[in-house]
Amino acid sequence: MEVITLKDIAKALNLSTSTVSRALRDSYEINEKTKKLVAEYAKKVNFRPNPIALSLKDNKSRAIGVIVPEIANNFFSQAINGIEDEAYSRGYHVVICQSHESLEREKENLRHLFERRVDGILISLSGKTTDIKHILEYSESNFAVVFFDRVPESGGFHKVVADNFSGAFAATEYLIKQGKKRIAHITSPLTLSITKERLEGYKKALEVHGIAIDNELIKYCGFDPEEAKSTINDFMNTQKPDAFFTCSDRLALHCYEAFQNRKDEMPVDTPFFGFTNLNVSHLFHPKLSTVVQPAYEMGGRAAKILLDQLESKRKVKDFDKIVLETYLKIS
């Protein structure tokens, strides 16, 4: 397909290139008759502005970057759908990178996106990120950053998260009301904000219902399937919980698989609860109940905040933390 340029349109209409350019930008310097003539011809020949030329002219790429731990994670894939829908509706493209829970990969992703001149980024921190110095280096250069799901404790940024505390409280309370008192909580690395908030919700539910907190029933687990298997085996061999509550998509699946291998050693009604966005949890046997996060809405809200920030002529002084409600899906 032949690429039509401004010069081609100018030559065809016997106009200067600058007149064509101003007409397409609806400049007040060009009369309405000429604007209409140029617009109709541009449509006829299927003219598309050169995005590289526009980005050089406006110093904007009309693209935003997204860094997530893993796209295959159901939660993050839903969040990305929300991000893309919001971005594309406003004329932006999305560049997606994965950190794979690695701080070094996260740093490399950030450098790559900055060098590609994206206008800003949305990021959910890796499991190995203990501080955000590498992000501050860019944000201090007026590079727009919005965090979602896994966020830093420090201020100075917009953040969009789920109500992790309330979701964990509700799940734990549900299990307690089912008569369970030895509820194992298998959670992600303590470096993550979601770990701390969900652990607090779990502990608060036990406290409210007069159940002593047993630290032997709380295990921190990485994202390797073998680590999840080892954690479940430790519980089955020593603590014998009467219910399991895991705190993320991947962790739930890895632990559930390990639990399946030894389910015959447990009562048939032993409940398994996850903090996941799986659409097929009701098909599992034994059933896998879940705390559902508004992943799509979280991505869309984060993208909207970032794009509003990019398009605002005023410098951001106040930063918001948006907290979205979760709900229980009982299988």
CA distances from 297 to 31, 110, 161, 214, 302 (A): 44, 24, 10, 35, 8
pLDDT of residue 59: 65
Any idea where the domains of the chain sit in the sequence? 6-49, 61-161+296-322, 164-292
- Amino acid at the residue 76: F
pTM (two decimals) = 0.81
Nearest residue to 149 via CA among 255, 67, 221: 67
Q: Which residues are CB-neighbours of 96 under 8 A, at least 6 positions away?
A: 65, 66, 68, 71, 80
How confident is the chain (331 residues) per 10-residue block, as mean pLDDT? 80 90 81 91 82 59 93 93 93 94 96 91 95 89 90 92 97 96 94 95 97 96 89 89 89 86 80 82 77 96 94 79 95 80
pLDDT of residue 314: 75
Distance CA 213, CA 287 (A): 26
Residue 26, token pair as written in the block: 């609806």
Strand-pair partners of 68 = 98
Distance CA 2, CA 278 (A): 46
pLDDT of residue 54: 57
Edge-to-edge order in the sheet of strand 272-274 = 218-220, 183-187, 243-246, 272-274, 288-292, 327-329
pLDDT of residue 254: 87
- How many whole angstroms from its chain centre is CA 227? 24
Q: Give, in words, the CATH class of 164-292.
A: alpha beta
Say whether domain 61-161+296-322 belongs to CATH 3.40.50.970: no
Q: Which residues are CB-neighbours of 112 under 8 A, at least 6 positions away?
A: 97
pLDDT of residue 50: 65
